[in-house]
A and B are shown apart, each in its own frame.
Chain A
Amino acid sequence: MTVSAVPSEASSASAAPRGGGVRRSMLRRVAPYLQAGPLALTLLVFLLIPILTIVAVSFWDYDSIRIYPDFVLTNYEELLTSPVTWKTYLNTVKFAALTWVITLLIGFTVAYFLAFHVQSTTWQMVLFLVCTIPFWTSNIIRMISWIPFLGRNGLLNSGLISAGLIDQPLEFLLFSDFAVVLAFVHLYALFMVVPIFNSMMRIDRALVEAARDGGASAAQVVWNVILPLAKPGIAIGSIFVVTLVMGDFITVRLMSGGQSASIGLMIANEISLLQYPAAAANAVVLLAVVLIMVVAMLRIVDIRKEL
């Protein structure tokens, strides 16, 4: 959006007198629409209209066999008056908050190390790549790869037992809230590292030096110079992590062993029971919650300015 205004207007003016001018300037005027067309059409057909469909269906009626076009509020009523809903929402927000705090701490520290302590650019790129490569493998594979590590007879338990630290395997390691948050951090820490690293790399190093010359300690430099300037990256990373966790259902289902719930999982269950209107109402509420969270984060920083 903030792409610098390229002097294409000027060129179209200079091209005009060269003959075929009228047709060419017409083409210039419609060109952006033709160029943006495929993107716009795809998002319209596969995002906007489906979301509107969800909103419409959330007012439909259903029984055990099929769904009926209608306008009823029962889906929302049942959803919002059920204590299960509130508990599930609370649980999901808890997952999101925990994951957010942990990924933020990890992301900031890792990005800070890469951006300010690794001196050579080559090493910076190599270490950055080392961090990003696991991200390219399947999420589900990365989740199940925790099982032999955390299980009853897993590496961690047998290690702790043979070290004499515990007598019995720790049961809470796998199929628990602990495992869910651990998997989330494992899956999404990178979504925090990359944007924060990106905004840290843009920080003018002279500012850091000036602060140091002014007598600031290392901690003061981080807190008063780097942190404020890395805010856009933190905001982008936070939006990613929070929205990904809020909508997740596979991680919660796999890692909690079915013992914990999330909104996404609730929706997925309603889908598998073919209760589409109920799922749709739930989806609308989830979307509203996620949008409120994102808007709140965007109030803190203007991301469009930073692109």
Chain B
Amino acid sequence: MTGTGTRRGLSFYLLAAFFGLFVLFLYGPIATITILSFQGPDGGLTFPMNGVSLHWFKNLFEQQAVGDFGGSFRRSIALGLTVMVLTVLFSLLAGFAFRRRFLGSGALFYLAVASLIVPSILVSLGIGLLFNILGIEPTWYGSALGAHLTWTLPFGLLIVFAIFNRFNPAYEEAARDLGATPWQTVRHVVLPILLPSLIGVGLFGFTLSYDEFARTLMTAGSFNTLPLEIYGMTTNVTTPVLYALGTLTTLFSFTVIGLFLAGVMILRRHRLRRTGAVV
């Protein structure tokens, strides 16, 4: 890497400035509502700050005005975790399948890619109509789960493809030569190597599902998930309680990412120590 660009001339500083502006553009608005969520009780939706307080956070938890915030939050978490587990499991399994040629593999690949391209509202409409015609009640843990999987599975599958592309089959051959059964090879050799990437797939699955709005719209049935709840609030809530909710959910997302990243880091260090001991 070093030595490619020896000059750190004007273009570097111009590009760095552009990058800085881009980051400001990404974070600025979110920072604004975070600050505004600490408005005093008489504060409004915009600056200037009218005192500083936790009033709107308290408001979020104590009143019914916000609807079913707790319930929708719990449903979104449960749904996200289910989607996460299924995404990791299904895309890993499919990744194994795609390492060999099988009948219909091309069609399945295109179906997965199509799943990314089909606009979310069509998936929502289609599943809603299908359940309607079949007379099945849509539920957040049934139809919405399926709708979310059509969004997370293709991403998971593409990541698994990329992982297997970089995976050195020599490890498997070595395990086999030492007499490991196929299951032992997977369990003790392949999975530990893939684990950090699979955590990434899980993180992807969870956050995609946790934030998904359009695919939940017609498929969630009578109980809202958090994005639906927030969307409802944007149309009828005109106090900074909206920002308090934004701040909390953003904080929650960051915590989840932090935990995942820490997990990957610990795994890596653990592995380094182990391989270090072997050497």
In contact, A113 and B33 (Cβ under 8 angstroms): no
A275–chain B nearest beta-carbon distance, Å:
11
Interface residues of B in 123-182 (CB under 8 A from A): 123, 125-130, 132-133, 143, 146-147, 149-150, 153, 157-158, 161-162, 164-165, 169, 172-173, 176
Q: Which residues of the partner chain A approach B172 to less than 8 Å between Cβ atoms?
A: 6
In contact, B32 and A119 (Cβ under 8 angstroms): no
Residue in B22, B108, B162 whose beta carbon sits within 8 Å of that of A39 in the complex: B108
Quick check: which of A70-78, A80-88, A246-254 contacts chain B, the rest being far away?
A246-254
Interface residues of B in 203-224 (CB under 8 A from A): 207, 210-211, 213-214, 217-218
In contact, B33 and A148 (Cβ under 8 angstroms): yes
- Separation of A94 and B3 alpha carbons in the complex (Å): 43
Given contacts A131-B23, A140-B213, A290-B119, contact A154 B93 (CB under 8 A): no
* Interface flag for A22 (CB, 8 Å): no
Q: Which residues of the partner chain A approach B94 to less than 8 Å between Cβ atoms?
A: 35-36, 38-40
- Separation of A305 and B44 alpha carbons in the complex (Å): 54
- Separation of A31 and B127 alpha carbons in the complex (Å): 30
In contact, A4 and B45 (Cβ under 8 angstroms): no
- Separation of A254 and B125 alpha carbons in the complex (Å): 20
Residue in B16, B97, B114, B231 whose beta carbon sits within 8 Å of that of A140 in the complex: B231
In contact, B164 and A142 (Cβ under 8 angstroms): no
Grouping DSSP codes into helix (H, G, I), strand (E, B) and loop, the B interface class, with mixed when no group exceeds half, is helix
Residue in B36, B111, B117, B249 whose beta carbon sits within 8 Å of that of A243 in the complex: B117
* Interface flag for A276 (CB, 8 Å): yes
Residue in B122, B161, B257 whose beta carbon sits within 8 Å of that of A1 in the complex: B161
Q: Which residues of the partner chain A approach B97 to less than 8 Å between Cβ atoms?
A: 31-33, 35-36
* Interface flag for B41 (CB, 8 Å): no
Given contacts A11-B176, A33-B97, contact A307 B119 (CB under 8 A): no
Residue in B19, B242, B249 whose beta carbon sits within 8 Å of that of A110 in the complex: B19
Q: Which residues of the partner chain A approach B4 to less than 8 Å between Cβ atoms?
A: 116, 119, 205, 208-209
In contact, A36 and B105 (Cβ under 8 angstroms): yes
In contact, B96 and A35 (Cβ under 8 angstroms): yes
- Separation of A280 and B218 alpha carbons in the complex (Å): 14
Residue of chain B at shortest CB distance from A265: B121
- Separation of A109 and B246 alpha carbons in the complex (Å): 30
* Interface flag for B276 (CB, 8 Å): no
* Interface flag for B70 (CB, 8 Å): no
In contact, A50 and B127 (Cβ under 8 angstroms): yes
* Interface flag for B15 (CB, 8 Å): yes
B68–chain A nearest beta-carbon distance, Å:
17
Residue of chain A at shortest CB distance from B22: A110
Given contacts A39-B108, A46-B123, contact A290 B117 (CB under 8 A): yes
* Interface flag for B18 (CB, 8 Å): yes
In contact, A189 and B22 (Cβ under 8 angstroms): yes
* Interface flag for A49 (CB, 8 Å): yes
Residue in B19, B133, B218 whose beta carbon sits within 8 Å of that of A53 in the complex: B133
Residue in B93, B169, B249 whose beta carbon sits within 8 Å of that of A38 in the complex: B93
In contact, B227 and A138 (Cβ under 8 angstroms): yes
In contact, A54 and B5 (Cβ under 8 angstroms): no
Given contacts A11-B176, A247-B120, contact A45 B146 (CB under 8 A): yes
Residue in A239, A250, A271 whose beta carbon sits within 8 Å of that of B125 in the complex: A271
Q: Which residues of the partner chain A approach B149 to less than 8 Å between Cβ atoms?
A: 42, 46
Q: Which residues of the partner chain A approach B274 to less than 8 Å between Cβ atoms?
A: none
* Interface flag for A145 (CB, 8 Å): yes
Interface residues of A in 231-287 (CB under 8 A from B): 239-240, 243-244, 246-250, 254, 264, 267-268, 271, 276, 279-280, 283, 286-287
Q: Which residues of the partner chain A approach B102 to less than 8 Å between Cβ atoms?
A: 32-33, 36
* Interface flag for B250 (CB, 8 Å): yes
In contact, A140 and B227 (Cβ under 8 angstroms): yes
In contact, B246 and A145 (Cβ under 8 angstroms): yes
Residue in A46, A50, A139, A286 whose beta carbon sits within 8 Å of that of B211 in the complex: A139
B76–chain A nearest beta-carbon distance, Å:
10
- Separation of A26 and B127 alpha carbons in the complex (Å): 36
Given contacts A113-B19, A218-B11, contact A138 B211 (CB under 8 A): yes
In contact, B93 and A36 (Cβ under 8 angstroms): yes
Interface residues in chain A, defined as those with a beta carbon under 8 Å from any beta carbon in chain B: 1-9, 11, 31-33, 35-40, 42-51, 53-54, 57, 106, 109-110, 112-114, 116-117, 119-121, 127, 130-131, 133-134, 136-142, 144-149, 151, 153-155, 158, 186, 189, 205, 208-209, 218, 239-240, 243-244, 246-250, 254, 264, 267-268, 271, 276, 279-280, 283, 286-287, 290-291, 294, 307
| 20 contacts across the A-B interface (CB closer than 8 A) | A3-B99, A5-B101, A36-B97, A36-B98, A38-B93, A39-B112, A40-B104, A42-B149, A54-B125, A117-B8, A117-B11, A119-B4, A120-B1, A141-B250, A154-B46, A154-B47, A186-B25, A264-B121, A267-B125, A279-B125
16 additional A-B pairs beyond A43-B108, A141-B230, A290-B118, beta carbons within 8 Å, are A9-B100, A38-B93, A48-B111, A50-B126, A50-B130, A117-B5, A138-B227, A138-B230, A140-B231, A155-B47, A209-B4, A268-B121, A283-B121, A291-B117, A307-B162, A307-B165
